[in-house]
Amino acid sequence: MIECLPAGICSWNYLLRGDGQEARIEFNWMGEQGRLRVGDEEFRIEKDGVFSGSWRMESAQGTLFTARKTSAFTRSFEIAGGGAQANLHAASAFGRTMILDSGGQQCVIAPAHPFTRRATMSGTCDDFRLAAFAFWLTGLIWRRAAHSSGGGSS
């Protein structure tokens, strides 16, 4: 199991740690872009445009993963790259739990409880970089929901 711990009480940045893996997730203060550090690898998360529903996880070597929001009305993404095709989607219409399905493997990203940003990732995903990118996208969805509801911690 991977623990997903916010960097601070009011922060949307995270430290993911567990199963011998570690990643740092960062969101830019403005907009929907950021950074990811998985082990010793650095990645930028770039959005294709202000009104786009597509993101890229890039390093100095090029694009590793792309994610495309399947609809403006659902919390789901199609992720491709790194030899994988994956789907990240909400477990239910009302909860914050997200599920990453990739090649017969499933990873569940779930809040520790309703009133916290702390979360866990459980299940299987062979590529931790894919799991970290999926968590970055999940954090983006949670952050959007918190900003649209006027709350800071939902």
Residue type, 50: V
* Domain residue ranges of the chain, discontinuous segments joined by +: 2-149
Confidence of residue 103 (pLDDT cuts 50, 70, 90): confident
Confidence of residue 25 (pLDDT cuts 50, 70, 90): very high
Q: Where are the extended beta strands (E) located within 7-138? A: 14-18, 21-27, 34-38, 41-47, 54-59, 62-69, 76-81, 84-90, 98-102, 105-111, 119-123
**pLDDT by residue (tens digit) across 71-88?**
888 899 999 998 889 999
- Provide mean pLDDT across the span 110-137: 92
Angle at 85 between CA 81 and CA 86, to 5 degrees: 115
Spatial separation of the C-alpha atoms in residues 72 and 82, rounded to whole Å:
25
Tokens at residue 140, please?
A: 């983006």
pLDDT value at residue 150: 62
pTM: 0.91
* Residue 9 or 137, more confident: 137
pLDDT value at residue 154: 44
pLDDT value at residue 146: 85
